[in-house]
Structure 1
Amino acid sequence: MAASRPTANPLHKVDDHTIRASYGDVTFIPVPGGLTKPIPSLISFRLPDGVTAGDMHRAVLQQIAGRSWLIMGGIEVRIPVRHSPVFLAAEERKLGVLRAIQAGMEGNDRWWPVFERYVVGIAGRIDGLGGNSGEISPQRDFPRVRDSPGGNKDDGICGKVAELHYDCHGDFEGFVLETCTGRHVFRACARGIETLLHRACASEATISVQTRKDAPKKPLRIVWRCC
């Protein structure tokens, strides 16, 4: 069926539940008609070799009604290419949440095979980025920094993490906080701060950085805004 479409890329059978298509302008995946329930499915993209940070790859997915070629719906998938430290933190957070959801699913759930493959794929991505997926336990959320008792939530400089800085040896040495009025550079080397900033950057969260007047570039306290 797919091969009968004009300019279509061929589909290849990987196993009884997986098909693969090469990159191209148009790829058709035939779906049997007469179905009354959604089909549990998972689509994965493998980028070509040689991508660089800052690249943006896109794929448009559309549901087409048979011979009428009527477009029933569609989505656009955007795949940004980023440096692994920022990307890794987001994937670790995602895997912990997904494993918590998976722990509550029944084995006979029709979505179980797809969800299991999705979790395995995220774990493999983490390992490929230099992390250790085996150390990530199921959890609904990661702990976040909150105000201490008596703290003033309006203190400090509020903004989003724009850059993480590393020296020539790959050691963390600081970050840039972008606010509505400008950019602020801070010096830091603690591993805990680096981990927190990775997660804040990946989730585009707003944080507040408090400093001492005699050391305006050294964070004294970082608050993660939850709302």
Structure 2
Amino acid sequence: MKKTVLAATAAAFLVSACTTDPYTGEQKVSNTVGGAGIGAIAGAALGTLAGGNDRRNALIGAGIGALAGGAIGATMDRNEAELRAQLQGTGVSVTRSGNQIILNMPSDITFATDQDSVKAQFYPVLNSVALVLNKYKQTTVDVFGHTDSTGGDQHNFDLSQRRALSVANYLAGQGVDQRRFAVTGFGKTRPVASNATAEGRAQNRRVEIQLSPLT
């Protein structure tokens, strides 16, 4: 099952390399993550989906020390506190689950309808996230895209991936180490509310950023 997901994800990432420049909104090959570009983030994502330790090994090999013992909770506490301070009043929620932190970014404030270009007015919010990510480097960053149930399965799957990748690309463009990222689109398969109402569908259209300690 994971191999099937891997193949579909790889294909979608290659296609999405020609979609969006999050700085200008132009449709072109993305260069926001530097020379390695889409391939590096896609490679990190594939390593994660395969169940490997690619990101962990790459980061530790690059000299970023792993967290252990009480340093894990303390580091994530500082991450959480700074993210809550930076994101207050932005519409992005911060949730703590054990030693993981999840940022929920509703698509209605992040993207135009059916588009994968990050809205220019949302750049300052992502800049704030990038500041914290760059300050605390001992975390991995999973970016998850989700849609509501409107539209076809493949369209929703592709859109969720492109949106998640746009967010990851923007953050990488702000200096966040691209080796920390994994990007996954779930389409409509992980709703958090009922798709029977407009309010529920709005909650389901989201991009989530999950921070996990490097251990």
Same fold (TM over 0.5): no
Structure number with larger C-alpha Rg: 1
| TM, length-normalised to structure 2 | 0.25
| TM, length-normalised to structure 1 | 0.24
More strand by percentage: 1
More helix by percentage: 2
